[in-house]
Amino acid sequence: MCEDLVVRLNDREYTNWLKAGHCLYILKDALHPFIEEHMRAFHRALLRDEPSLRAQCPRSCRSGDIKLSRACTPCLQWKSEILNHHRQPDSTLNWDNCTPSAWRTQHWELAKAYMPRGQARVHAAHQCDPSALLNLINYCDRFTFVHSSYVRELIKCRNELMHSANLHVSDEWIKNFKGALNRFVQLFSQVPNMTLVEQELTKMLTVDLSICATDAVDSTDMKVEDDSANYNIRPELISQWEADLLQERLRELRHMADNETMDTDQLMMLDGFLQENKDLSQRFSAELQAISALGMDKGRVDKQSSDLGQK
Ligand SMILES: [Zn+2]
């Protein structure tokens, strides 16, 4: 196993960050078929109850037409229905996620109106990141059967985790996260296999990844003894968890740069982390540089970030 990874897995607060982040992916993988089914039914019900939504968009309206209210009548009708079913219709909706002319035929285009920005290229539930799915559940009133304060609690945890500048969280934070995660999972007890998912989440939060690192030095396949079962974690799998989380973080930074709200400190911290970890740096530094350049093009990144990568 790569030496940098061994060092990271012996850093308790980094593994806290990694395990908590991966828990959100476990949750997302368990929930997406259920959420997708709900959105399909929601889309069907809208078409059934409001005949004007069945009219085809005559001129391929785009998200900009929706924002400026210059779209065709059927697309504006869809916009109005989306707002009618939004739990906070006065908040900013990310119309750039959507292709309005597809609202009539594609339930996931409808779902994307309730998500954070950056979903334009996503076309199915399984391609979403955890934040997208959590926000959909929070904002779309199709999900009024769940206690929204528990959903918001988990969204808050997810944001703290992803915005942790040094990619570390404390044991105390993990304790609170575990409570929020359990309360959220209880909301979806009707989802098939949720009991198994709950066990998997508990295992993930208790597994000692530093043992994985030690055991794996001589072996590419490692086993961690658990009270109930062997829990197999291969180093490639851990690297994949890291990649998922770093890609999510980079996507957020890119959207910030696109919207001229670049957080230079966050960019510097992530750059520092990548410089220290050559294995990750090889994979992600080019993307970070591109984001930094984009931020500078937009004129909002100060002199500090021009030093990125020049250490
Ligand atoms: Zn239209």
State in Å: Cα 282 to ligand 1 middle.
44
Rounded to 10 degrees, what is the CA torsion of 129, 135, 137, 141?
A: -150
Q: How far apart are CA 64 and CA 185, in angstroms?
A: 37
Over the chain, what is the mean pLDDT?
A: 88
**Ligand 1 centroid distance, CA of 65 (Å):** 8
Ligand 1 center from residue 102 Cα (angstroms): 9
Provide the pLDDT for residue 7: 93
Query: What pLDDT score does 219 carry?
Result: 46
**CA count, 13 A, side-chain hemisphere, 242:** 23
Q: How far is the CA of 124 from the centre of ligand 1 (A)?
A: 22
Per-residue pLDDT tens digits for 125-154:
899 999 999 999 999 999 999 989 999 999
**Closest to 283 (Cα-Cα) out of 270, 296, 300:** 270
Q: Which of 265, 230, 270 is nearest to 247 (CA)?
A: 270
Tell me the percentage of the chain whose pLDDT exceeds 70.
Answer: 89
Report residue 298's pLDDT band, with 50, 70 and 90 as the boundaries. low
- Give distance in angstroms: CA of 93 to centre of ligand 1: 18
Distance 62 CA to ligand 1 centre (A): 8
Q: How far apart are the CA of 108 and the centre of ligand 1, in A?
A: 17
Query: Which residues have a Cβ under 8 Å from the Cβ of 12 and sit 6 or more positions away?
Result: 171, 210
Q: Which pLDDT does position 228 carry in this prediction?
A: 38
* Distance from Cα 55 to the centre of ligand 1, integer Å: 9
Number of Cβ atoms within 10 Å of the Cβ of 153: 18
Distance of CA 289 to the CA centre of its chain: 22
83: CA distance to ligand 1 center in Å?
17
pLDDT band of residue 229 (cuts 50, 70, 90) is: very low
CA of 243 to the centre of ligand 1 (A): 38
Average pLDDT over residues 273-278: 90
Number of neighbouring beta carbons within 10 Å of residue 264: 16
pLDDT, greater one: 286 or 134: 134
135 CA distance to ligand 1 centroid (A)? 26
C-alpha 70 – ligand 1 centre gap (Å): 9
Q: What is the pLDDT of residue 303?
A: 45
Report CA(82)–ligand 1 centroid distance (Å). Answer: 15
CA 59 – ligand 1 centroid, Å: 6
302 pLDDT tier (thresholds 50, 70, 90): very low
Instruction: Pick the more confident residue, 154 or 212.
Output: 154
**How far, in Å, from the CA of 66 to the mean position of ligand 1?**
9
